[in-house]
């Protein structure tokens, strides 16, 4: 399993992973649903749906990571368990990348972000009026198998490198990246809904995000695969920084382009 240290490269990697996780197709699908629902009922929480969802999600990820760093290798010493922790998220990255690429390349004009967890969230929770329900939705999402295994893997890696403090920092940095993208995603959609009822504008926005999802997903999945089979395939600190910056700038460019196109200059 790839080690993670609390140096600049490690922090940059976790931040980049947080940015990418914030663009998880299931995140976008849920944030779309929550934002549209709260916008429709004139709730003041509509514009903060992405933030509240990611907050609940990040709390669980950080807690799970810290717990596994505390119990350490004694709890997950079996080779097959380590393999599951390492490979489940990677396999699901390939699956999600394929689903979205297929949808983007289809001949239909309407593109919907493709994910697999959205269907497990109770409709009653999605249709609630409270801010707590949005946070709880994020919590439930984090308890789904691949997210828990990923956080557990980080916790195990942290137990090898330095323990609870590293796991805590990893979880918090990851959460910051995720909260940033989910917040902006929710805010820009809320602003678009306020400014226009043109469905094609929202579809265009989603297609741009879709290509960003596909590129990020495949890059991380392929890199993790290569690193597992060939540990010498390791990005340098500079490379980590550049990759993280590229992901972030790509997201900023998409949001800025749509904001200018729809004249939604007041997003945050």
> Which band of pLDDT confidence, cut at 50, 70 and 90, is reported for residue 1?
very low
Tokens of 227: 């690193």
Assigned token pair, 82: 């380590």
User: Which range is most confident: 52-56, 169-173, 184-188, 234-238?
Assistant: 52-56
For residues 227 and 137, give the distance between their C-alpha atoms in angstroms, rounded to a whole number: 33
The three-state (H, E, C) secondary structure of the chain, written as one string: CCCCCCCHHHHHHHHHHHHHHHCCHHHHHHHHHHHHHHHHCCCCCHHHHHHHHHHHHHHHHHHHHHHHHHHHHHCCCCHHHHHHHHHHHHHHHHHHHHHHHHHHHCCCCCCCCCCCCHHHCCHHHHCCCCHHHHHHHHHHHHCCHHHHHHHHHHHHHHHHHCCHHHHHHHHHHHHHHHHHHHHHHHHHHHHHHHHCCCHHHHHHHHHHHHHHHHHHHHHHHHHHHHHHHCCCCCCCHHHHHHHHHHHHHHHHHHHHHHHHHHCCCCCC
pLDDT score of 2: 47
Q: What pLDDT, in 10s, does the model give residues 52-96?
A: 999 998 998 888 888 877 776 555 555 566 566 667 777 877 887
pLDDT tens track for 214-239 = 887 788 788 888 887 887 777 776 67
For 36-75, letters b (16+ CB in 10 Å) and e give: bbbbeeebebbbbbbbbbbbbbbbbbbbbbbebbeebeee
Quote the pLDDT of residue 100: 81
* More confidently predicted of 80 and 125: 125
> Across the chain, what does the average pLDDT equal?
75
Q: In this structure, are residues 2 and 85 in contact, taking their beta carbons and an 8 Å threshold? A: no
Query: CA–CA separation, 184 vs 189, rounded Å?
Result: 8
Choice between 202 and 78, residue whose per-residue pLDDT is larger: 202
Nearest alpha-carbon partner for 160 in 68, 250, 97: 68
> Tokens 């983007």 sit at which residue?
104
Q: Which residue carries 């920084």 as its tokens?
A: 241
Question: What's the burial of 3, exposed, middle or buried (CB within 10 Å: 0-12/13-18/19+)?
Answer: exposed
C-beta atoms surrounding 6 within 10 Å: 18
Least confident of 4-8, 98-102, 187-191: 4-8
> CA angle, corner 1, sides to 79 and 158, nearest 5?
105
């Amino acid at each position: 399993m790839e080690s993670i240290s609390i140096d600049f490269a490690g922090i940059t990697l976790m931040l980049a992973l947080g940015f990418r996780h914030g663009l998880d197709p299931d995140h976008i699908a849920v944030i779309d649903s929550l934002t549209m629902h709260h916008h429709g009922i004139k709730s003041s929480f509509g514009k903060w749906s992405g933030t509240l969802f990611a907050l609940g999600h990040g709390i669980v990820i950080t807690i799970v990571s810290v717990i596994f760093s505390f119990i350490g290798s004694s709890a997950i010493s079996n080779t097959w368990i380590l393999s599951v922790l390492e490979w489940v998220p990677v396999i699901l990255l390939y699956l999600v990348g394929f689903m979205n690429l297929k949808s983007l390349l289809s001949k239909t004009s309407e593109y919907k972000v493709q994910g697999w967890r959205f269907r497990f969230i109770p409709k009653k929770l999605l249709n609630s009026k409270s801010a707590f329900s949005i946070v709880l939705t994020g919590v439930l999402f984090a308890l789904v198998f691949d997210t828990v295994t990923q956080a557990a893997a980080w916790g195990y890696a942290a137990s090898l490198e330095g323990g609870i403090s590293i796991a805590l920092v990893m979880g918090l940095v990851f959460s910051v990246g995720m909260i940033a993208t989910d917040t902006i995603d929710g805010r820009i959609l809320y602003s678009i809904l306020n400014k226009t009822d043109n469905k094609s504008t929202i579809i265009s926005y989603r297609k741009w995000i879709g290509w960003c999802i596909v590129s990020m997903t495949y890059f991380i999945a392929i890199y993790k695969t290569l690193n597992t089979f060939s540990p010498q395939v390791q990005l340098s600190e500079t490379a980590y920084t550049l990759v993280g910056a590229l992901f972030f700038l790509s997201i900023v460019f998409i949001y800025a382009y749509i904001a200018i196109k729809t004249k939604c200059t007041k997003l945050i």
